[in-house]
Amino acid sequence: MQSEANVKERLNLYINGRWVEPVGKGTVKVVNPCSEEAIATIAMGNEEDVDRAVSAAREAFPAWSRTTVAERAALMARISSAMAARQNEIGDTIAAEMGMPAPWSRMIQAGLPIATLNSFVPILENYPFEYDMGRTRIVKEAIGVCGFITPWNYPLHQIIGKVAPALAAGCTMVLKPSQLAPLNAFILAEILEKAGLPPGVFNLVSGAGSRVGQAIASHPEIDMVSLTGSTQSGILVARAAAQTIKRVTLELGGKSPNVLLKDADFPVAVRKGVHQCYLNSGQTCTALSRMIVPAEKQEDVVVLAREAAESMVMGDAFADGVFLGPMVDRQQQQSVRAYIETGIREGATLVTGGPEQPDYLPKGFFVRPTVFSNVRTDMVIAREEIFGPVLCILPYRSEEEAIEIANDSVYGLSGSVWSGDIERARSAAKRIRSGQVFINGADFDIDAPAGGYKQSGIGRERSKYGLEEYLEIKAVIGHNPA
C-alpha cells in the first residue's frame, strides 16, 4: 500500500480493494502551479482498466447494496474521522497540486469533504427507504454501479459530493479524478481501504477524460454517470451515456450574478462580492462573476471594488497571508489572460488588473486580480465562464432590468441578492433562474442542495436531494392472498 505523505509516484490504480498495475502504460506529471515544477507522477489507465474496475464494482454491488443503514452509517462516520485525522495533509496536498493557499485549502478543500461526509450520516439514518402509498409499497433502492468524473478546482469536495451519497445509498463506484489534481483521490482510496470498505465498492482509475472518462460514460455495466466539469465535457458525457440509457447527473459551469439592489449596504456588499468572485482565484463554478449594480452607483462601486481587489495578496500557496494563488496550469492562465484582452477590446473599462504577468511573481501561472466596469450583457466577458480572478460590473436602470441581466445567461448555477429588506431580496431571488441564491452574503451551507438550472447541469448534490440521485424507485403492488 502507498501511504507516505511524501510519495512522489502514484503508478498503481485501486481496483477491487488492491493497488494494481494499470494495463494502460502512460503516466502524467502533476505540476505545482506556483513553482511550475513537477511534484508527482501518476498512472494513466485505459479502457481495459475501466473494464476491470467496473467488473469489481458490479461484483461488489449485491452484497454492498444489502448492507443495513446502520452498517453504512458507521462506516461513513469512520471514513470521515480518518479523513479528519489527515485534514492538514489533504489540504496541503491540494494546495501543492492546484495552488489554493494552504490555510484556505486546509479549511475548504479538506474541511468541506469531511463535513459533507458527516452530513450524510443523519440523512441516511432518517431517510424513508420504504413506505406505503395507497395500495403500493414504495421501495427506494441503490441504482447500481456509478461512474464519477471530477474536476481539479475543488477536487476532493467534488469527489465526496458523489462518493458520500453513493455510499449512503448502497451503490458501488468507479472514480476518474482530474489528472491536474489527482493526488487527493489517491489519499482518499487509502483512507477507504484502511476504513474497511469492502473490495470493489470504490475503485480508482486515473486517466484522460477522452479515454477513461469516455469509457466510463459509455460503459454498458455502469448504471449512472455523474460528472462535475465544464459544460463541453457534460455534453460529451451525456452523449456517450445516451447509448446505454444510464442516469446522468451533471454539475457544470456558471456565470453567476450578484445583484445589488438600491437599498443594499454597498461597502459590505462590494467587498464581500469581490471576495466571492476571487475565492480560489476565481476558479469556482459558483463564483459571483457578474456584479449587477444601479447605474447611478456604478462609480462608487468601482472605487470599492478596486480597493478590495488591490488589497488582496497574491503569491505562493505556502507563503504567509496569501489569498490569491495561481491558475491551475499554463493553459488556464493563457485562457484567462485572453479573456482580459477580449474585455479591453470589447470596450469594457479596465478598473484594475490586466493581462500581464505580475512583475513581482515572474514564475507561476498567476493572473492579476482584474475588475471591469461598464460591461454590457452582449460582451463575451459577460457571457462566458472565465474561471479566473475577473469581475465584471454591469450597470442597471431598474430592478426589472437587474433581474433581466441576471437571467441573461445560458448558465443558472448560483446567484446572490443584496438588499436592506429580506422580503425584497427573497422576491428578487425567486425570479433568478439558478439552483442557489445567497442573500446578503450568507455563508455556504453544506446542508443545502446544489446544482444547476439551464446549461449549468442536471440533478442536485448534497442534502436528501443529493441522496435521491442514487436511488431507483420501485413500486411493489399487492396484498395477502384473498
Chain contacts with ligand NAD (rule: CB under 6 A): 149-154, 158, 176, 178, 209-210, 213-214, 217, 227-230, 233, 236-237, 251-254, 285, 385, 387, 413, 452, 457
Pick the closer one to ligand NAD by CB: 370 or 456: 456
- State the residue for C-alpha cell 477536487: 155
Residue closer to ligand NAD by CB (options 93, 256) is 256
Min separation Cβ 179 and ligand NAD, Å: 6
Q: Would you call 251 a catalytic residue per the annotation?
A: yes
Yes or no: say if 282 and 100 are a contact pair by the CB < 8 Å rule: no
* 140 or 460: CB nearest ligand NAD: 460
Catalytic residue among 190, 285, 385, 469: 285
**Rounded least distance, CB 240 to ligand NAD, Å:** 7
Closest CA to 109 of 284, 226, 326, 231: 284
Pairing of strands 202-204, 370-373: unpaired
Burial 53-74 (b: 16+ CB within 10 A, else e): bbbbbbebbeebbebeeeebbe
The values of phi and psi at residue 47, to 5°, are -60, -35
C-alpha to C-alpha distance for 323 and 38, rounded to whole angstroms? 23
Cβ-proximal residues to 71 (8 Å cutoff; 6+ apart), any chain? none
Q: How many helices (H) and strands (E) does the chain have?
A: 16, 23
**Minimum CB distance to ligand NAD smaller for 229 or for 273:** 229
By C-beta, is 330 or 474 nearer to ligand NAD?
330
Catalytic residue, candidates 97, 251, 385, 469: 251
Identify the DSSP state of 141. Answer: E
Minimum distance of ligand NAD from residue 229's CB (angstroms) = 3
Considering the complex, what minimum distance in angstroms separates the CB of residue 418 from ligand NAD? 23
Say which residues have a Cβ less than 8 Å from residue 366's Cβ, sequence separation at least 6. Answer: 314, 324, 326, 327, 333, 357, 358
Cα(28)–Cα(4) distance, integer angstroms: 20
The CB-of-233 to ligand NAD minimum distance in angstroms stands at 3
CB of 452 to ligand NAD, least distance (A): 6
DSSP 401-440: HHHHHHH-SSEES--EEE-S-HHHHHHHHHHS-SS--EET
Closer residue to ligand NAD, CB minimum distance, 136 or 210? 210
Known catalytic residues? 251, 285
